[in-house]
A = this chain, B = another copy of it.
Amino acid sequence: MMLKAPEHQVAGHLAKDGQLGPLVDGSGFFYKPLQNDDRGTNEMAFYTSFSSDFRIPSHIRRFFPGFHGSKLLHASDGSGLHPHLVLDDLFTGLRHPSVIDLKIGARTWFPSASDDYFRKCLDKDRKTTSALLGFRVSGVQIRDYGGILWRPSHANVHQFTASDVRRTLRRFVSSNPTSDCEPDCAFASAVYGGSEGVLAQLLELKAWFEDQTLFHFYSTSVLVAYDNCDHGQSQGRPRVRLVDFAHVLEGDGVIDHNFLGGICSLIKFIYEIPDSLTQSSNA
């Protein structure tokens, strides 16, 4: 098994330069190293519980990466054998994916968080757009058959303002993402619009979040990917997936109003992009 750092990861720790990070095997699996603290235990517990929970409807389950247990693998940082979650590689079958990672929720801290973690999250939620918009961009890569067109650094992304976020969501579906002109939103109807588009999928998620009281998702992202070689037209619907479950709590009969509010805010941002509401040609 040849493992390597995933090519299309836009957020989180990278398995490069001797760091501990996720690996892919090129045959459809994604290996995420379990973090050593509570986060690793929590994420493993979430996947285990979620994968066997019959209350999750199948049209919702497909928004989550498939889970295939855990496996001891040589860690990417050279520290020896380390347990990894075995997940579906979300980019399998995409040749030149454009990807955006949107961390959902005005707050990333949860009620039972330690003081240190609470302060760290709160500070970041206020410095980024999370508190203001209900979500923030954690990473983005725009590419076409020729290679990567735009991939801002983490530091750059963390400084995004509300209008940067608005512009990024337009650039993400534009044929001129690196131009100084207004993004042309040429692929908006193909990617965001249509019955299989990103908007339709986010609305399915929203409806579930209005009702489900099983889980509260803190610091979880919505990942959107589509194949930019052909403007998302032929590789089936754009992919919308939830990722990062190290801070999922039980819902205890309460809806996840924090995540729901963020999803609704994101939906509104996308609604306002020209042509996002039109049917795509293959819809």
Complex CA gap A210/B265 in Å reads 8
Whether A211 contacts B260 by the Cβ 8 Å rule is no
With both chains docked as a complex, state the minimum distance between the C-beta of A169 and any C-beta of chain B, in angstroms.
Answer: 13
Q: Which of A213, A261, A265 is the most central at the interface, judged by chain B CB atoms within 10 Å of its CB?
A: A261
Within 8 Å by CB of A252, from B126, B162, B267, lies B162
Asked if A133 CB lies within 8 Å of chain B CBs, one says: yes
Whether A268 contacts B107 by the Cβ 8 Å rule is no
Identify the closest chain B residue to A109 (Cβ). Answer: B131
Asked if A111 CB lies within 8 Å of chain B CBs, one says: yes
Identify the closest chain B residue to A162 (Cβ). Answer: B254
So how many copies of this chain end up in the complex?
2
Q: Which of A252, A260, A272 is the most central at the interface, judged by chain B CB atoms within 10 Å of its CB?
A: A260
Asked if A70 CB lies within 8 Å of chain B CBs, one says: no
Within 8 Å by CB of A107, from B106, B111, B162, B213, lies B106
Asked if A197 CB lies within 8 Å of chain B CBs, one says: no
Interface residues of A in 240-265 (CB under 8 A from B): 252-255, 257-258, 260-262, 264-265
Complex CA gap A211/B264 in Å reads 9
Complex CA gap A89/B59 in Å reads 48
Q: Name the B residues within 8 Å of A131 (CB-CB).
A: 107, 111
Give me the 7 closest cross-chain CB pairs, A-B, nearest first.
A261-B261, A257-B261, A134-B257, A257-B265, A255-B268, A255-B265, A260-B261
19 A-B pairs, CB-CB below 8 angstroms? A106-B106, A106-B107, A111-B126, A111-B132, A132-B254, A133-B254, A134-B255, A162-B254, A210-B264, A210-B267, A253-B272, A254-B268, A255-B268, A257-B261, A257-B262, A257-B265, A258-B261, A260-B261, A261-B264
Tell me the A residues contacting B by CB distance below 8 Å. Answer: 106-107, 111, 122, 126, 131-134, 162, 166, 210-211, 213, 252-255, 257-258, 260-262, 264-265, 267-268, 272
